[in-house]
Amino acid sequence: MIETGKPQVNPSKMPSLTPKAIIHQKYGDKASYEVEEVQVTPENGCPGLVITQKAPPCLYRCTLHLPETTVVSDTFKRKKEAEQSAAEKAIEKLGLRQKEYNPTMQEAWDDLAGRVAFLFANEFLSFPHPLSNHFRAALRRDGHFNGFVPVSVIAVYDAKTTSICKFINPAAEINSLLVMSLVSRAAAKLSDLVIISDDQLSVQRRNLYSPEIISSIIHEASLLESTPLDVILIPVSREKAVEPLKLNISATGYYLDVIARALSLPGASDIIISRTIGKASSEMRIYSSAPKHLFENLSEPQTKQASHVEGSLNIRATYFAGQEIYGDAILASVGYTWKSTDLSHEAISLCSYYRNFVSKIPSGPYKVSRDAILAAQLPLAFTTKSNWRGSFPRDILCAFCRSHHLSEPVFSTQSSMLDSSVNLPGSCKKLKATELSKKEKSELGIAAVPTGVFSCNIKIFSKNQELLLECSPQESYRKQMDAVQSVALKVLHWLDIFFEKPDLSAEELGLLAKKFDIQFTHNFFKGFSLCHSVHRSGTTITQAADTTLNNVDGQNSGVTPTNGCLACISYTVSLLGEGDSTKEYIESCEEFEFEVGNQAVLPHLDAAVEKMAVGQSTYFTVELPLSELILAASGDSAKTLSLLSPRSCKLEYCVTLLQVTEPLEDRMEQALFSPPLSKQRVEFAVCQIRQSSTASLVDFGCGSGSLLDSLLSYPTSLEKIAGVDLSHRGLAKAAKLVHSKLNSLLDPNEPTSKMKSAALYYGNITEFDPQLHGFDIATCLEVIEHMEEKEACLFGNVVLSLFAPKILIVSTPNYEYNVILQGCTPRGQEDDPDERNQVQACKFRNHDHKFEWTRAQFEHWASELAVKHNYSVEFSGVGGAADVEPGFASQIAIFRRGEESGNGMECGSEYVQIWNWSREDQPVGGVS
Ligand code: SAH
Ligand code: MG
């Protein structure tokens, strides 16, 4: 544990507010952001491409409307950035930052009294402020309550009041009772203006408003309709279930009186209103009985004696609101806004209550964001952005901190890019520490930690800026994004364990924390003191399970998922009554995609999917998880609740494996090779091409053009290049890449390129096209394994006999190397000694691969072709080494034409040219 001194508010440690937050503090709902999409100029588009192009990424511009002014942001890739920029501009323009509130204590008290006086002035009644609606509604209250405004309302709905109170006593930040007591003390100084009720919970004007004003207010209300309001009752007794409640808000009355009556309280003044819960824009709050005894004690600042009323602490509501709540409580989303004088409200269902509840568990926001509460789990590792589904770890951690009323987590990333050459012990060691051997990496499977230059740490503070925990992992990453997400994920996992295991002692927790590179302070426990008493019921099912599948239906298509690929499943989860035939359907998804082997789903589900092939279905049952999870998932929480309580139930999962995609190949290549294998292949080819001093090149199976693009990055002797592929998507990408590269080469200041023309064709490379006959050099990188073996032979024959390039470079995976890539130990090896001697069967690197050859197979294919067509051939590769078993990761054959060779005069099919570029067509820049 890190020892921290006395908790202190250190202004320099206060995280600075975002521009939007500053605008919000000042203007609330009066600030309106309007975001528009800005079409990107077709600079990186691709004129002349016959394939319909994917819409270019769009940029956003934001217009911020404020009462005084309107500002427009620059354009940004993300909506959020545009909004922040607009807010920043407004702050600059209005000079908002200079005005810091820094009065003396006496001035602050005067300000508070002044504010209260302002609120009770005649003019305020017609002032467009959420609070003025309460003042008008107070005038419609019945009997002796008429005209009384609850102090809680002033304490909660007037930002100015609360900020002055926070200045007088910083504890006001988290204690609305304290704000109430400060307000009523300030009101007491205004005895000629207002009257305070005996219990100090409401305030009234001494001189009544004029009869005209009052009658207009009564009249205004008679035009409104009464509205039903769906709220949630959270009983103080935890034996009683949380239940939905319907209130009827009459038009003429005061809605807070209705809520008070539902809580068996005399009137609006007896309730205390919590801060908002959930999203920033939400008006969801908890209403409960104002504990007067506490209120009295508060007049002596900070002598809070909760002990004698502990019995009436509403644990669930307290946990939910993050502030102490006593007695029965109502959760409702209702209130006046800046926008209109009508009461705005939203129904709260039991399901949304439980979803909010689940969101307070560290992994909860992830489950909710995936809308798969009973299937999804926070994945073990942030492997790649493209494999991640659902909210990102950083956002989840921020949401988690917000829902627990902590400060926004502070991320700091370090880049060791510059340090690595300088001998700074810290940074160099860091990189070393994570240089795992290949074997270790493959043992770790996908959890292998790529090393790079970015590392990141996180600090989490309470609202009072007390440090709760810090996570400083050793790992470094190639991308900053990966560093940030990985550390956030780490913190979330550790928090998740803390939430799930109430029995962990501080020492055990500390040991565990070390493994997660986390240090926590004693304040940490304060921050989460209630979570264990709230999340208590039910077992958690995070332990890996060896599911015995009842049966697997459907033909074995042979396409099975491996670690690191994305599986797409459809599933339904139902509640099964044991011993009877009740079956209540709870959650389902038609297409749910997740990364296999990354613990991204319930262990049972992961285990089941690993045993299935595409097209197959199965089902299995599991013990019940936390009942809140089931209730959050269920569409009809009330019915589910009734099914859950009287009998013992199980959850049944029915799963169909629909598809398996995004194979190991890319990631393995990225994780295990530096530079990535694909880059090494391209560099190898570029090097050969430059040495050959040839003028024309065709890339067979050019895909998205990575080779063509790289070729244009170096000065070469090439004047003419072409690519052929069967993938429209690949070709469109290639066209864009090559187009923008070529245009940048036109710069007269950069006359290095001799390039005269470039073209892309849609066509099958096993067929000949005379247009591409006679090119000097041909490349075919990682393509043949995507065809049937017969076609690969056909391709070899067609190229060497008909296209007849001087040089042909072909690369394909070396199957023998897969042992290293996959660390492949066949399943069940440990249990079954007989299997140990069997040949290890590795999977192909990619599901689209029709074959992967050993070195012998590849050499056989290439040598036979070479002899037949009078070429010589030599073998090489990238990744690994020729003389170290099992050879190169990617094997490469380089064919060179002998004197005599085919002449390609034969007719063939026509490839469809889908894009071309030639220097003559281009406008000449600069001086001609
Ligand atoms: N050479 C690229 C792409 C490799 S992926 C690179 O190294 O990055 C394999 C590519 O081969 C895919 O784009 C696929 O569309 C293409 N391909 C497979 N069979 C083909 C065929 N018969 N004719 C043309 N292209 C083919
Ligand atoms: Mg391939």
Q: What is the pLDDT of residues 8-48, one digit of tens each?
A: 333 333 446 788 888 887 887 788 999 888 876 554 455 56
Report whether pLDDT(6) > 90.
no
**Closest ligand 1 atom, CA of 787?**
19
Least confident stretch, 120-134, 385-399, 822-836: 822-836
The better pLDDT of the pair 506, 310 is held by 506
Report whether pLDDT(625) > 90.
no
Q: In 3-state terms, what secondary structure has residue 777?
A: strand
Ligand at shortest distance from the CA of 780: 1
Residues 786 and 702: their CA atoms lie apart, in Å, by 13
Average pLDDT, the chain: 82
Distance 822 CA to ligand 2 centre (A): 16
Percent of the chain topping pLDDT 70: 82
Q: Which are the contacts of 538, defined by CB distance < 8 A and separation ≥ 6?
A: 624, 625, 626, 627, 628, 629
What is the per-residue pLDDT for 252? 79
At 710-756, the pLDDT tens digits run 999 888 899 999 999 998 878 988 999 999 888 877 765 555 678 88
Ligand at shortest distance from the CA of 703: 1
Which residue's CA is the closest to the ligand 1 atom numbered 23?
764
Question: Could you write out the DSSP letters of every residue in 49-71?
Answer: --SPPPPPPPEEEEEEE-SS-EE
Mean pLDDT of 424-436: 30
Report whether pLDDT(137) > 60.
yes
Which residue's CA is the closest to the ligand 1 atom numbered 12?
703
**Closest ligand 1 atom, CA of 765?**
23
Report whether pLDDT(670) > 70.
no
pTM to 2 decimal places: 0.63
Ligand at shortest distance from the CA of 708: 1
Q: Tell me which DSSP letter residue 707 carries.
A: H
Is residue 640 within 6 Å of ligand 1 at its C-beta? Answer: no
At 501-548, the pLDDT tens digits run 888 888 899 999 999 999 999 889 887 877 777 776 444 444 444 556
Is residue 730 within 6 Å of ligand 1 at its C-beta? Answer: yes
**Closest ligand 1 atom, CA of 795?**
22
Confidence grade of residue 55 (pLDDT, cut at 50, 70, 90):
low
What is the per-residue pLDDT for 663? 58
Distance 778 CA to ligand 2 centre (A): 18
Is residue 726 within 6 Å of ligand 1 at its C-beta? Answer: yes
Report whether pLDDT(303) > 60.
no
Buried b (16+ CB within 10 A) or exposed e, 585-605: ebbbbeebbbbbbbbbbbbbb
Mean pLDDT of 218-243: 87
| Cα 234–Cα 238–Cα 239 angle in degrees, nearest 5 | 115
Name the amino acid, one letter, at 907: C
Distance 596 CA to ligand 2 centre (A): 20
Least confident stretch, 32-46, 225-239, 887-901: 32-46
Distance 872 CA to ligand 2 centre (A): 25
Query: Which mutation among 725, 729, 914 tests ligand 1's pocket best, with the greatest number of atoms within 8 A of CB?
Result: 725
Confidence grade of residue 771 (pLDDT, cut at 50, 70, 90):
very high
Is residue 706 within 6 Å of ligand 1 at its C-beta? Answer: yes
Residues 519 and 513: their CA atoms lie apart, in Å, by 6
Mean pLDDT of 398-419: 82
Buried b (16+ CB within 10 A) or exposed e, 845-875: bbbebebbbebebbeebbeebbeebebebeb
Least confident stretch, 410-424, 671-685, 845-859, 865-879: 410-424
- DSSP H helices in 634-727: 637-644, 664-672, 677-692, 706-711
Name the amino acid, one letter, at 609: V
Mean pLDDT of 490-509: 89
Least confident stretch, 83-97, 531-545, 895-909: 531-545
What residues are neighbours of ligand 2 (ion), with CB under 5 Å?
Answer: 782
Token representation of residue 36: 């528009």
Report whether pLDDT(442) > 60.
no
Report whether pLDDT(429) > 50.
no
Mean pLDDT of 676-705: 94
